[in-house]
Chains A and B, each alone.
Chain A
Amino acid sequence: MSGAHDNPVAGSNYHYIARKRRVVEDKRFVTGNGNFVQDQDLPGTLHVAVLPSPHPRARIVLINAEAALALAGVAAVITGDEIAEHTLPLYHGLPLPECRWFPLAHEMTRYAGEWVAAVVAEDIYIAEDALDLIEVEYEATPAIVDPEEAMKPDAPLVHPGHGSNIIYDGDFEWGPVAEDFEAADHTLSFRARWGRSSTVPIETFGVLAKWDKGTETLNVWASIQMPNYPEQIAAALRMPLNGVKVNQDIDVGGSYGVKRGIKHTVLVGYISRKLGGAPVSLIEDRLVNLASGDAHGPDRIFYTDVAFDQGGVIKSLKIRAIDDCGAYPGRGPFQLGKPIAAIVGPYRINSVHYRPCSVATNKTGQVPVRGMGQGPTNYMIETAVDEVARHLKLDRFEVRRRNLIRSDEFPYLNPTGTKYDSGDYETVLGKVTELANYDDLVKRRDELRVEGKLAGIGIATCLEPSGGNNLFEFLFNPKAEISTYMEGCQVRIDSVGNIVGTMGTTTSGQGHETLVSTILGEELQRDPDDIRVIHADSLAGLPTRSPIASRMAVMLGGAAAGAAQKIKDQLFQIAAHNLNRPIDGLEYSEGTIFDRSDPARKLSWDELCNIAHRQFHKLPEGMEPGLQALHVMQVPLGGQMPDEKNRVQLYPCFSFQAHIPFVEIDPGTGKVTVLDYFIAHDCGTVINPDIVRGMIIGGVAQGIGAALYEKFDYGPDGQFLSGTFVDYVMPSVFEIPYVKDVEHCTPSPLTSHGQKGSGEGGYLGAPAAIASAVNDALEPRGLSIHELPMRMNDIEELLNGEKPE
């Protein structure tokens, strides 16, 4: 693979971009110098432990905390009544006034594990001892667990005041669906189920808050990755927004969307203020993280109808998507909205009818997980393509070739109103079949089959929308009239010429410091290793929408490039003034500006920086001293609102991947072994090859987890069954094969250097690809499975279980 990742931009003259460079952040993690929430050491910190509800659905009759309060070292016990009296309900994305959500269960519990009370104590051991002493009287009632049951009119209600468990039910039609179905040679239908899984980070969520009486500021250090975090804290605590200071120079130990501890933060913020300014921390343990961190991902059922012609060309889709958002919707329902941008995938599908429905049940809540619903959607689309191939007895690769958008069709406008920026899907598919040595792979598969084994080759060709733009929120909720989707970056050059890039948000493993320093280095032609990148706190902060939506390469990268350009403009003005030459006669090289006609006439980087900071008499008239620039970038193509047919540009950039896994199934046990994994990937210009490669391989591993292992299980009574890593089964290095990958580069015309997002792609295609491989292995037996995760038991049951009459 050597060389495959180095400089995939054909003919580029980049010095740092797309070159193999050490990831700046790695050093501090590898040497044990990361700075996480738990590393913050404020004297007198109090620790919070939370009391989980044993009942998924119960009325809280009485809480008696006397004995807990009497325990030495206990500072306070907080209940839902107190929180509800002193804070405002937490924010849902949709207007749901009767689904009141507080950090602690108020009046009733809505899922097993929901926090009923919080103990604040000198240390966490005492806090947990005190939990044992709290007496709670519950009146348990039957829980509602199955989302389709929950939709029925007589189902028990998660939020009785809301009058129904249906949180959102939408109906979108883009293009002539009825005509396309009418005219199609064939139609088929299937049900596909995506299991409840998530990204489960190595660091659980943690937060430390300290109310500073002197400045009347709530200081927050948190393992956070989300937009509007300070806004939501301030709103719930009824504080001015400029009274909440979120310190963002905190390392976040993994997230991919799940680090959204709003309820945790409101709770500790409230406690710190109540106790007069004591630092208060709440660090989830693993059980809390899994059971009650409100950090589960989509849990989705698709009913899909496909209309297609004799040649396997898909004309139209009808999609009913039912998603179980758990007890407190939060942003969960929008995970049905984000995939609208690529609801037809990379295919030339003419029309689509999409009916997304979000349903509440007695489970912990959802957060946006890596791709925000795109993974399940891609799984459904790829299932449709494979089913068409099986129906017509056509090759799955050939059916894809017939449906993929051709490279000469870009920019391609899909029926929902989103334009795909660029792509060369067939070439990428060709690259992965070559990498996989596809003909040999088929031979290997067929040899195994001759030996009586079950072996299968998978294929998935999927999109990764990137850059962000959450107008899908407006499609679901017309009150959310938000079309700004910005990111800021500030660049300061000090008097001796050192460069500092400032970003306005946290980082959770994506390598933003490497991103910013690489782009600043490229633009200013200075060594990126000498550039420092810092994270402003939220009060000092820059406009940001946080590192979500596979957007930072596009948006933070673009903002850094824009800020660097402003710096260069200023340097040119200074040089023109002092060299007495017009700007267009000057040239910039590695920080030095010289006269093109007389290169000996020049000002060095050090001289230019010195003039900017210290020699006002040499500055052009009206120029501010110093050397700093802020650039705030709006998302490309952003700012348009939906038309009367709900057509709108959502995400601007579309990365593409083609996956080929090779699997073997043990027919006696149902166990799937992934023998090989090949992926070809196109995210436009690669900023840092190691980071992109890490994202791809980690994403594939997570996708294999979602496909074969990971599920948050609830019993039929609503009890949570996956509270440890024994029962929430994440694959380890032993289950993940060596992933062989190859890059392709179709630059985006919309971004600073042609880059697109790359943080989600491996995960967005791997579950579909593994399902395709498993179904290929089952095909000779006439079987198929459309439910993830495909656990051993499920596959073995299909093969060897008693067949229904």
Chain B
Amino acid sequence: MKAPAFDYHAAETVEDAVGQLAEAGDDGLILAGGQTLVPMLAMRLARPSVLIDINAVSELAGIEQLDDGIRIKTCTRQNVALNSQLIGESIPLLAKALPFIGHHQTRNRGTIGGSIAHGDPAAEIPLIAVALDASIKLQTKNDTRNLSAKDFYEGPMMTLRKDDECLTDVTFPIWQEEGKLGVGFQEVSQRHGDFAIVSVAAQMVLDGNNVCQRVAIAVGGAAGIPVRLEKVEANLTGSVINQETIGDALTNMADFLDPVEDQHGSAAYRRRVARVMTERAIWEAAA
């Protein structure tokens, strides 16, 4: 379990990093926190010709308040985000999910952008990004573009990021609706810190009459990518939130999921549990 040979380049600026990426053709990889990539190298599941280390690029770390959102730069450590008051207040759904990521020690290295770019279908940050429709910024030597998280994921560990693109930041929108904003995050995993078998994120705004003004719900681990439950969202929006409306909204939701199957959970298990967790997440958001 030792990595094959590769070149290593410690980038100093974003320009430097994307320049190196361009030079590497389709054979370079960005090294951020390394919590996934380094084991993949050791297991020879990833075989880049060059590793471009962005850990020392100061312009790629930090959290910024925008008019209608919070921008988190790619190399921001998960623990920095977890301890950020700004995120706690403005993106409470992300704040709620962050403690579920790995362990304290891995969060000290693991980054927000690294997790989004890697795109594990059971990972927490991509799930929140999809739930809130975060905007993902990708930069090449010559160009930048923004993609919606909803469109970013194609399959397990497959995204629309091109080989020469570096994910530089992600912006989570702040909802502007009047009313009480609540968030719910539910995850089932065998152990604390494991990748989720199923996880569900929900954010909801209720008016004074307990009527849902806006809701976003996404499920992780129940398909090749994080899945937005748009039909459930549509059914709930405009409804009073109670046992009956939630029950109705969730009818047949499992049919829209396409879970993988392994020794830790059958597809049927994941479908059933996804429904349970969704119901709990909605109640949590409504509480």
Contacts and interface: CB of A to CB of B under 8 A. Distances in A.
Interface string A121-159: 000110011001000000000000000000000000000
Given A721-B263, A793-B264, A793-B266, A287 B193 contact: no
B115 to A, nearest CB: 16
A732 B263 CA distance: 19
Contact of B190 (A285, A721, A729): A729
Given A124-B2, A285-B1, A796 B193 contact: no
A729 B1 contact: no
B263 A713 contact: yes
A129 B262 CA distance: 30
B191 A729 contact: yes
A791 B190 contact: yes
A124 B277 CA distance: 46
B272 A800 contact: yes
A801 B268 contact: yes
Contacts of A713: 263
Given A668-B276, A721-B262, A796-B272, A709 B191 contact: yes
A512 interface: no
Instruction: Tell me which of A713, A732, A791, A793 has the highest count of chain B C-beta atoms within 10 A of its own C-beta.
Output: A793
A729 B197 CA distance: 13
28 contacts: A124-B2, A125-B4, A128-B1, A128-B2, A129-B5, A132-B4, A285-B1, A287-B1, A668-B280, A669-B277, A709-B191, A711-B263, A721-B262, A721-B263, A729-B191, A729-B264, A731-B191, A732-B192, A734-B191, A734-B192, A735-B191, A791-B264, A792-B188, A792-B190, A792-B197, A792-B264, A797-B266, A797-B269
Interface of B: 1-5, 43-44, 188, 190-195, 197, 262-266, 268-269, 272-273, 276-277, 280
5 closest cross-chain pairs (CB), A and B: A734-B192, A668-B276, A285-B1, A713-B263, A669-B188
A100 interface: no
A463 to B, nearest CB: 31
A731 B2 CA distance: 26
Contacts of B263: 711, 713, 721-722, 727
Nearest to A730: B191
A798 to B, nearest CB: 11
A257 B112 CA distance: 42
Nearest to A800: B272
A125 B6 CA distance: 12
A10 interface: no
B194 A726 contact: yes
Nearest to B266: A793
A713 B263 CA distance: 7
Given A129-B5, A793-B264, A793-B265, A669 B273 contact: yes
A731 B193 CA distance: 11
Interface string A763-805: 0000000000000000000000000000111001100110000
Contacts of B272: 796, 800-801
A286 interface: yes
A129 B188 CA distance: 39
A671 interface: yes
A668 B2 contact: no
A671 B191 contact: no
A126 to B, nearest CB: 9
B93 to A, nearest CB: 21
A671 B188 contact: yes
Nearest to A709: B190
A669 B264 CA distance: 12
Nearest to A732: B191
A711 to B, nearest CB: 7
A709 B264 CA distance: 9
Contacts of A129: 4-5
A727 B190 CA distance: 10
B261 to A, nearest CB: 10
A732 B43 CA distance: 23
A734 B189 CA distance: 12
Contacts of B193: 732, 734
B267 to A, nearest CB: 11
A785 to B, nearest CB: 15
Contacts of A671: 188, 190
Interface in A630-676: 666, 668-671
Given A669-B276, A727-B263, A796 B269 contact: yes
A707 to B, nearest CB: 13
Instruction: Tell me which of B191, B195, B265 has the highest count of chain A C-beta atoms within 10 A of its own C-beta.
Output: B191
Given A729-B194, A792-B269, 6 more contacts: A125-B4, A128-B1, A287-B1, A668-B277, A729-B190, A735-B191
A731 to B, nearest CB: 7
A711 B262 CA distance: 13
Contacts of A669: 188, 273, 276-277
Nearest to A802: B268
Contacts of A732: 191-193
